[in-house]
Structure 1
């Protein structure tokens, strides 16, 4: 629910600025907010304790099976010439 309050507030401010025909450049604040969001997501991800070896092996196996399945399905539907 906390995400909806700033969203609605921004929507109202944007609507009011549109009515007054004022051009407001929000590129720099939006870029800064996005970088902060990515940074804090990285901090939270860094707190999680995982087994990197198991994650690497399972990711490679999953990627390999996904590619093999996609190629098999393409050959099945399209046939080989």
Structure 2
């Protein structure tokens, strides 16, 4: 589903009713966020992965990222 359609409708509704409706959206947004996180966890739990291989790939990627950043910083200091 395209996420921009509900977003635009929500922005328009908020703009049109900004001075008419006076209630707090904190509680409904918190509930919706918790449901979203719960269902993302359910979906993530259904995926079968090799966790050890993923850990190794993540550590290698993080190491290369750190080393690349340090290299760029050192090259920038020397100039």
Provide the TM-score with structure 2 as the length reference.
Answer: 0.81
Question: Which structure is richer in relative contact order (CA contacts within 8 A, separation 6 or more)?
Answer: 1
Q: How far apart are 1:17 and its partner, in Å?
A: 2.2
Q: What's the RMSD between the two structures over aligned residues?
A: 1.9
Alignment match, 2:70: 71
User: How many residue pairs end up in the alignment?
Assistant: 78
Q: Secondary structure at the match of 1:18?
A: coil
Q: How far apart are 1:60 and its partner, in Å?
A: 0.4
Alignment match, 1:62: 61
Q: How does 1:19-34 map to 2 (within 5 A)?
A: 19-20=19-20, 22-34=21-33
Q: How far apart are 1:3 and its partner, in Å?
A: 3.8
Provide the TM-score with structure 1 as the length reference.
Answer: 0.80
Gaps of 5+ in 2: none
Gaps of 5+ in 1: none
Q: How far apart are 1:23 and its partner, in Å?
A: 1.7
